[in-house]
Amino acid sequence: MTFSIVARSADGESWGVAVASKFLAVGATVPAAVAGVGAIATQADANVAYKGLALSHLDEGATAGVALQRLLEEDEGRDHRQVGIVDIDGGAASHTGPACLPWAGSLTGEGHAIQGNVLAGAEVVEAMAAAWLATDPDEPLARRLLAALAAGDEAGGDRRGRQSAALLVVREGAGYGGGDDIAVDLRVDDHADPLAELARLLDLNDLYLTASTEAEKVPVTPELAAELEAFAQARGARDFRAWAGTENYEMRVAEDLSWIDQKILEIVRSSPG
């Protein structure tokens, strides 16, 4: 009833899962990932205990294949399960139980595992694999995962229709303010076009919750600082940092205002008044 891709980035620094389904809030059930450990998708007659168990096995040094074997050995319902795992080194493994509803199957390759059940056909996972391999390995993992998921959707996806989608990516220190490892954690729980909505949310996530790269940082000269302060005061803010915080741009402006993200500067200069 679900199709997903579990993958590691080409640089070996990020792990993630993208998933879509005709199922309410699929993101609450299927994906799990830990930076420096690996990622998993559990679906079909999903055993949600697989998430913690698999990540524990991976954290103890098991490969994706060994972790998967342990999960299945301990589960009498294995014939009804579908699961994909990618480990710290990009090793991938996937299982489709013989009792999963057709079409059901998977494809694995270096750094990725793609699986689905109750699909329009094998073309869904094949399209996802082709899209994954066609994307630039240097692209952010979230973008590559979303491209693969969208390709599966365009190829027919879940044969029952669309309802929800989710995207989870972890990388060390990538979370809000560097306080955790969650780079992306987006869910569309119930929507007529969940993939389009997920893409919209990812754009917002990149703007509000992703730290600026060095290339995006514009040094704030005394002249620019005066411009920014005048802008903030005209809008009733205490100072420019306060305005940025009110607008949720705090990850895009230096605490000491030594730099501002190019995108935010463009927003400021394009604002009326």
| Confidence (pLDDT) at 30 | 98
Place of tokens 């008044």: 273
Q: Give the chain's domains with CATH numbers.
A: 2-208 (3.60.20.10), 214-270 (no CATH)
Q: What global pTM score does this model have?
A: 0.94
Whether residue 225 has pLDDT greater than 90: yes
pLDDT at 171: 97
Selection from 2, 272, 53 nearest residue 164 by Cα: 2
At 273, is the pLDDT very low, low, confident or very high (cuts 50, 70, 90)? confident
Residue 113 — very low, low, confident or very high, per pLDDT cuts 50/70/90? very high
Sheet holding 38-44, edge to edge: 31-34, 38-44, 81-87, 92-96
- Beta-strand pair 31-34/14-21: unpaired
Q: 162-177 pLDDT, tens per residue?
A: 999 999 999 999 998 8
Tokens 């463009």, located at residue:
266
Sheet containing 182-188, strands listed edge to edge, beginning at the edge strand earlier in sequence: 105-109, 112-117, 2-8, 14-21, 164-171, 182-188
